């Protein structure tokens, strides 16, 4: 019998997850169907439960429902609990098991695909929303020299660090104090680029040979990537992360890990 999955979000029409999971299933020979489900902003729980009650096996969750996905989970993995957000749900009878594969996907893209070591690195994480929260514990588990978080609304970054228990390796910093610091990896986890905006980080924050990572994907040369390019940094967008987090979700659901390289290459090819 064909197992059914979906990505639930609002908006969701742009999501490339169906294409990615179809490519994984072709590789592994798994018989799955994966669709997009648009949930009303006040109707996530209802959309999810009717999908599950219709016999589905699991779901991915995207903006703006990751916190609700965590809240509705009846059980969760440590990596979902750490950021209090879930992007991968597995259904088991009445149980909903919440997981979060975003941090795994980000670290794997940076270390394996982009060959940028995170161990011992000085990392700046810009943003304190769901995406930043979801990847923090995975970044810390890579043992960076430091993970510093900054945000337009500084109190949100401060509160998040306090919640997690800050340390010499994990702290928050105000945007206007960044001019005195340099980083090996700068990750833009804000949604500023959606509206062609730029977080107010100084061009001097990029160290020599640094990597600038735009978590959003498919927007071309965003103001953040332009700033980083002007500073001489290497740049990447979040397409690799998207595919890596999807592969980890596929593994959670199916117990088999698809190969991501060909799928990233497929998505990077211009449409003909
Ligand atoms: P949220 O809405 O939860 O958080 C938005 C964050 O962006 C906040 O920190 C907010 O700051 C900041 N922000 C918004 N506009 C601006 C601006 N103009 N200048 C500076 N900061 C700004 O969104 P998410 O955290 O869920 O998502 C963030 C991004 O990450 C999205 O673009 C999403 O597409 C991407 N993403 C990519 C993934 C992938 O697989 N590649 C996976 C997950 C997310 P403030 O607190 O001050 O409002």
112 lines ligand 1 (CB under 6 A): no
Q: For residue 189, how far is its CA from the centre of ligand 1 (angstroms)?
A: 5
Report the pLDDT value the prediction gives residue 272, as an integer from 0 to 100: 64
Report the pLDDT value the prediction gives residue 127, as an integer from 0 to 100: 96
Give the separation between CA 105 and CA 244, rounded to whole angstroms.
4
Over the stretch 20-69, which tens digit does the pLDDT of each residue have? 999 999 999 999 999 999 999 999 999 999 999 999 999 999 989 999 99
What's the first-to-final CA gap in the chain, in angstroms? 34
Active site residue 84: no
CA-nearest of 262, 263, 83, 61 to 189 is 83
Kindly state the average pLDDT of the residues 250-262: 98
- The yes-or-no verdict on residue 92 having pLDDT over 80 is yes
CA-nearest of 45, 33, 57, 55 to 8 is 45
Kindly state the average pLDDT of the residues 239-258: 98
Over the stretch 225-243, which tens digit does the pLDDT of each residue have? 999 999 999 999 999 999 9
> Residue of the nearest CA to atom 29 in ligand 1?
191
Structural contact between residues 65 and 9, judged by C-beta atoms closer than 8 angstroms: yes
Report the pLDDT value the prediction gives residue 197, as an integer from 0 to 100: 92
Least confident of 126-135, 143-152, 168-177: 126-135
Query: What pLDDT band is residue 166 in, cutting at 50, 70 and 90?
Result: confident
Name the residue with tokens 């149980």.
95
Query: What pLDDT band is residue 83 in, cutting at 50, 70 and 90?
Result: confident
Q: For residue 45, how far is its CA from the centre of ligand 1 (angstroms)?
A: 23
pTM for the model stands at: 0.95
Give the separation between CA 258 and CA 262, rounded to whole angstroms.
10
Candidates 128, 191, 244: which one to mutate for ligand 1, based on the most atoms within 8 Å of Cβ? 191
- The yes-or-no verdict on residue 102 having pLDDT over 70 is yes
For the chain, what is the mean pLDDT? 96
Q: For residue 55, how far is its CA from the centre of ligand 1 (angstroms)?
A: 33
Q: For residue 190, how far is its CA from the centre of ligand 1 (angstroms)?
A: 3
Token duo for residue 100:
């979060």
C-alpha torsion 260→242→254→258, nearest 10: 0
Report the pLDDT value the prediction gives residue 270, as an integer from 0 to 100: 77
Structural contact between residues 232 and 260, judged by C-beta atoms closer than 8 angstroms: no
190 lines ligand 1 (CB under 6 A): yes
Report the pLDDT value the prediction gives residue 195, as an integer from 0 to 100: 87
Name the residue with tokens 């999810």.
48
């Amino acid at each position: 019998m064909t197992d059914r999955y979906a990505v639930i979000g609002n908006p969701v029409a742009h999501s490339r997850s169906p294409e990615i999971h179809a490519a994984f299933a072709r590789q592994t020979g798994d018989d799955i169907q994966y669709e997009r489900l648009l949930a009303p902003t006040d109707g996530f729980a209802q959309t999810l439960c009717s999908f599950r009650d219709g016999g589905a096996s699991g779901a991915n969750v995207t903006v703006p429902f990751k916190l609700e996905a965590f809240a509705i989970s009846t059980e969760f993995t440590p990596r979902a609990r750490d950021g209090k957000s879930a992007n991968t749900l597995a259904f088991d009878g009445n149980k909903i098991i919440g997981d979060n594969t975003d941090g795994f996907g980000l670290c794997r893209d940076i270390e394996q695909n982009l060959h940028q070591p995170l161990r011992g690195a000085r990392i700046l994480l810009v943003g304190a929303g769901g995406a930043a929260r979801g990847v923090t514990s995975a970044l810390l588990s890579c043992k960076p020299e430091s993970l510093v978080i900054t945000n337009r609304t500084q109190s949100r970054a401060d509160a998040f660090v306090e919640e997690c228990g800050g340390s010499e390796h994990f702290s928050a910093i105000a945007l206007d104090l960044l001019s005195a610091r340099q980083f090996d990896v700068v990750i833009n986890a804000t949604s500023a680029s959606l509206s062609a905006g730029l977080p107010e980080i100084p061009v001097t924050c990029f160290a020599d040979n640094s990597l600038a990572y735009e978590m959003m994907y498919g927007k071309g040369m965003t103001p953040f990537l332009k700033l980083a390019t002007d500073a001489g940094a290497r740049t990447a967008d979040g397409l690799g992360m998207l595919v890596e987090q999807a592969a980890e979700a596929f593994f959670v659901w199916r117990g088999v890990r698809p190969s991501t390289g060909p799928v990233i290459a497929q998505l990077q090819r211009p449409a003909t």
